[in-house]
Structure 1
């Protein structure tokens, strides 16, 4: 981990990699400063030399210190904001003074790299398992060590395309991790929730600049070639630029069907892109707007499409969640996605987007196969999920295959063969007749329920998933739907402490000019302007659903004067503050 300062790269060795979970305090051993040229190096340093081994450019970007960085380094409390492709938001490096170790090369300084709580923070490590390749070349460590060619050079060169719109040149938008929905077992109530169909396809982001189009999977893989027949219709949407979130599907018997989609990708069959969110338009990020506003802009961008069009707007219903869910299940669809209409776009799994399934289904890792007694190849696949670093056996699936899919899966199994099981434990009767494979293949499986000992009942295979890394496959347990707080629970909230540094960091992240951040808001009080900003940022997700689309009054507190209310626009307010006309009685 390196930060450029005073013409050199200040460097730390973060042994387990960074984590976006503020609870994870990752050890960062400070090492000697490196020259700036080292910042762009990717390759192999010969063994025996300093830093010997394979070096990957795992992330890159810019950083902004919070406060004086020299003082932060000296005092062992270096706060900063990262604007990388993977690491974003507020972080801190803390020197564990008194915990340094003596070595023959001098003292070894032990620091901690910690993520601050902000909109980029997650529960659990959201980085090291998800991203395993170079941001520069797309290679993994093995590919770098073998000297394989860059997987992204051509794509990177093409992605510099710009179009002229609104008096400025606009580039093809970069990929951003999509927002993900949390699985729940109850449909949320209230008209503030928007309900969409849960599509049975591939999640995709469409980056558009005029006729130039890139289609990315949820993990950032460029699948423009695989989804090639959608490039032309997407390239006709706008003369400017856009980044659209959606799902790519194929139909069977009037319903989206993942197995049909897999066949269509292999045969060049028909595809449909269902667009349900708009993240960027003509170079302007829309992520801080409420979902309802983003979807309205998306509707206007797409226009009125014919039923047979390959790009469709994803309609929604406000409220009536139980009726929508019942209708979807009765028609044989997968379920519904519930989204809070006032929510901003978050690059994480959140509870402002929820998914409710009619039938249980999820991804599983394929760890082996059982041979057939009647024909060559497999009779069933042995399935598992990763839990606490161990591959846990979840049963086997022997239905849902056709002749073509069976042959393709058998070929993939043979290409990943190994001699020992990757599972932590396997039942003895399964082990006796099993063939083992590397735990790299992922399949989607539908099932009725899971037994008390964690094994699937009545599973049916839906298809291989090439858009999700095997290491990200865990058992999906429905979370509780967002609870309504009662008087009995209000007193149990965990207290939070807000600092000036947190508020200053929020203002910088949002691009808001904050004057006199250390000044107390009210005379005789200690709460500062910066602390108020930090508090609003912390409660925004809970507060905004209740105040959205409602006219508000301002409490003005000029320095040295008494507070007063202001209702009318007297001029001088920033554009981010929206206006509404209200007729007053004389």
Structure 2
């Protein structure tokens, strides 16, 4: 059909709709539904195909009930650019009325989309923000077909199908969060479609005006009541600043993080942990009340500015403690770098670069006093910005993605890079002073691990003056107790003359590095922190993404503190992952947390192991048979091999799992069959491995194709991110076929898919044929072949984990190695996506085999 009909019906000098052109096909296939209030309300379904958007008008909208067949009237093709259109078409123009971007995402056809479209029967999967799962578009025949224009849109039966749920009640724009009324009455009336994109050369931002910004015109802004409380977004610690123009870089201010809530003239200043500090920063509160902004929530940092422009945390703390009057500590200011709410609108979904523009305009046009400062930034050039910050003696920089939303949690969209190592520690004791020193000699400090234990991290004896010694000593004396609060207190000479205290004080410490034993090297006291709760203090580890759980090494040695899961670890402080400082005991503790999830996939199965006794950075090797004496907590399984019988190990409980970590095992690869019936596999496994130049969108497309094909045969399958470059698709099966039969079945599946998508898939191992394609590896289904277990660590950079995923989590925006030991809480806080894996009862049937020509 092309775009001739589309252009013929429209006057582009009058309508805001894009004229567009036919585009070359790309790897990603766009899908959108636009709610269109024209002469009659309807929903426009659009699927990208052959360089344009094939379009159907669905009068009643889509339904999640497979029993409901919704009429879909085929209309003229639209340009791909139309997929980002939201706004108002003038009434006198064709299709005049309000258009909302109701849903958007990708679609994945089953087989050749163009051929099936011409035949009038499309089956496909949607991965949208609202609609997901399998669907059918079928052209009606006879008189009902309306000369080929009338089709039926039908939800296929799968886990996304829901009878009785009206999906149309979800009635906000996925692009801007607006209702139809808000789009109709909006001043600009047209959304540009650039949410999530950074304005660059040739792409203009809204022009500057003398008026305060209109929140209703901002992409992603949602009308809402102003919340009475919120949490600040926090940055992850990294070793190197990110590169690229999509990042902006701000100075890391050395002060107190403060959220400013303003309602009329009333102002509340709230600390990072939710404490009301309005009275402590009275001058800032008074100045904020004078802003010509009626209602808003600002995010920033209160600092003391030195004459050279750097910040002085110690001076700020002295004023805080009443040791110096506020008027004598220097210029106090509030650097504002973000805005969460503005004049009736929630801005947390508005891209950062637009939020910062609002902050700047509010301060410049809102009569901001000198103490209210704009937290400026530099675009790109992260390394250069970082180097300059360090030369100027600053603490570091914070890097933020320009297109990111505001998240009330620690997020990889905000990254902090420090010039020196500096973090908070909990005080658990102090030593007697020596010589003429008053108060105490050194503070004994530590941090909490995931188990809620306070881990000793060393002594801090420098950085004090007489006033801070006396002030800190006064606070310590009130907290003295007989028992050490540390899980691993210092012993022998290091414990002499030590006074233990209840762990209620938090100190900020600057130091050079961590020793291999997990002790601070050359630490220096910077001050007490009353804005941090002791229980939230974790060891900060530089990584990308960094650990959220604070997993940290413990000192080497033996004893109770080095026992995990009933297994005593030797050399528990040995570094297994140097990039994060993760030690043997850190990895053992990770496996202790995931034991209930991983053991069912290892139990009673022969294991092939990847061992790295000296850590990932040293020599690692693949091992099927243990040469050392097999620990008694493991089971041995005899396996017939070519010339003799080999003894494999199998895990039966937590002790067995940890005993293998003790031996340096970093990867667990179980067989696809169990020890009682080795020759009859009970799972069908495909490994999708992207070749050179394959995009994330193409990889995801390949995964969806495989899933749709297997479900078409009648097999429910599960998804796993390998922790490497690709994905595994796994179908549990009842034991029946032999290894050879299952391998042949898997081979036929792979070959059939390659015939359907020869430009995307390949099923042969030859590397020269895999370039630019996804290798669909069916060989995991051969006898003796293995696949990495769900929740197993990988012996790779940054300690990735093979992670079970729900199908909703499959996205080109998320890498297959995104889950790490360090962000284990993210992995474990989700509902188990494989909760039904062991309850599925399905077989590879003769009917399935016949369909594949077996």
The reply to whether residue 474 of structure 1 matches residue 538 of structure 2 is yes
Q: 1:385 aligns with which of 447, 458, 474?
A: 447
Partner residue in 2 for 1:446: 510
Counterparts of 1:93-112 in structure 2, within 5 Å, are none
Give 3-state SS (helix, strand or coil) of 1:382's partner: strand
Task: Give 5+ residue unaligned stretches, structure 2.
Answer: 1-63, 65-214, 217-222, 547-688, 709-805, 816-854
Distance 1:195 1:495 in 2: 36
Partner residue in 2 for 1:401: 464
Partner residue in 2 for 1:257: 312
Q: 2:483 aligns with which of 392, 412, 420?
A: 420
Query: 1:408 Cα shift?
Result: 1.3
Counterparts of 1:305-320 in structure 2, within 5 Å, are 309-320=370-381
TM-score by length of 2: 0.38
* Structure label with greater radius of gyration: 2
The reply to whether residue 209 of structure 1 matches residue 271 of structure 2 is no
Give 3-state SS (helix, strand or coil) of 1:177's partner: coil
The reply to whether residue 233 of structure 1 matches residue 287 of structure 2 is yes
Contact 2:224 2:346 in 1 (8 A): no
Q: CA deviation digits over 1:120-162, x for unaligned, max 9?
A: xxxxxxxxxxxxxxxxxxxxxxxxxxxxxxxxxxxxxxxxxxx
Query: 1:238 Cα shift?
Result: 2.4
Partner residue in 1 for 2:357: 296
Contact 1:205 1:244 in 2 (8 A): yes
Counterparts of 1:346-365 in structure 2, within 5 Å, are 346-365=407-426
Distance 1:320 1:329 in 2: 15
Going from structure 1 to structure 2, the CA distance change for 1:541 and 1:470 (only over 3 Å counts) comes to farther
Distance 1:184 1:411 in 2: 36
Farther off after superposition, 231-240 or 300-309: 300-309
Going from structure 1 to structure 2, the CA distance change for 1:493 and 1:351 (only over 3 Å counts) comes to farther
Q: 1:329 aligns with which of 372, 382, 390?
A: 390
Query: 1:251 Cα shift?
Result: 2.3
Partner residue in 2 for 1:43: none
Q: 1:186 aligns with which of 237, 240, 254?
A: 240
Going from structure 1 to structure 2, the CA distance change for 1:366 and 1:305 (only over 3 Å counts) comes to farther
Contact 2:438 2:466 in 1 (8 A): no
Contact 1:202 1:249 in 2 (8 A): yes
Query: 1:443 Cα shift?
Result: 0.4
Give 3-state SS (helix, strand or coil) of 1:440's partner: coil
Distance 2:532 2:394 in 1: 22
Going from structure 1 to structure 2, the CA distance change for 1:241 and 1:199 (only over 3 Å counts) comes to same
Query: 1:472 Cα shift?
Result: 0.6
Distance 1:278 1:410 in 2: 40
Contact 2:247 2:379 in 1 (8 A): yes
Counterparts of 1:546-585 in structure 2, within 5 Å, are none
Q: CA deviation digits over 1:412-458, x for unaligned, max 9?
A: 10111111110112222222210011011000000010100011111
Distance 1:179 1:335 in 2: 18
Query: 1:191 Cα shift?
Result: 0.5
Give 3-state SS (helix, strand or coil) of 2:446's partner: strand
Distance 1:183 1:403 in 2: 33
Query: 1:307 Cα shift?
Result: 11
Distance 2:267 2:245 in 1: 36
Contact 1:251 1:257 in 2 (8 A): yes
Distance 1:321 1:368 in 2: 40
Distance 2:422 2:388 in 1: 19
Aligned residues: 341
Going from structure 1 to structure 2, the CA distance change for 1:538 and 1:204 (only over 3 Å counts) comes to farther
Distance 2:239 2:367 in 1: 35
Query: 1:487 Cα shift?
Result: 4.7
Distance 2:428 2:690 in 1: 46
Counterparts of 1:259-298 in structure 2, within 5 Å, are 259-265=314-320, 266=322, 267-269=325-327, 270-298=331-359
Query: 1:403 Cα shift?
Result: 2.1
Distance 2:702 2:286 in 1: 52
Farther off after superposition, 265-274 or 328-337: 265-274
Going from structure 1 to structure 2, the CA distance change for 1:301 and 1:541 (only over 3 Å counts) comes to farther
Distance 1:301 1:475 in 2: 38
Q: CA deviation digits over 1:324-362, x for unaligned, max 9?
A: 111100111011100000000001101000000000000
Going from structure 1 to structure 2, the CA distance change for 1:538 and 1:213 (only over 3 Å counts) comes to farther
Distance 1:307 1:299 in 2: 10
Q: CA deviation digits over 1:232-287, x for unaligned, max 9?
A: 11011124101001011112353112111101323324421000000000121000
Partner residue in 2 for 1:98: none
TM-score by length of 1: 0.54
Partner residue in 1 for 2:430: 369
Going from structure 1 to structure 2, the CA distance change for 1:493 and 1:437 (only over 3 Å counts) comes to farther
Distance 2:386 2:235 in 1: 16
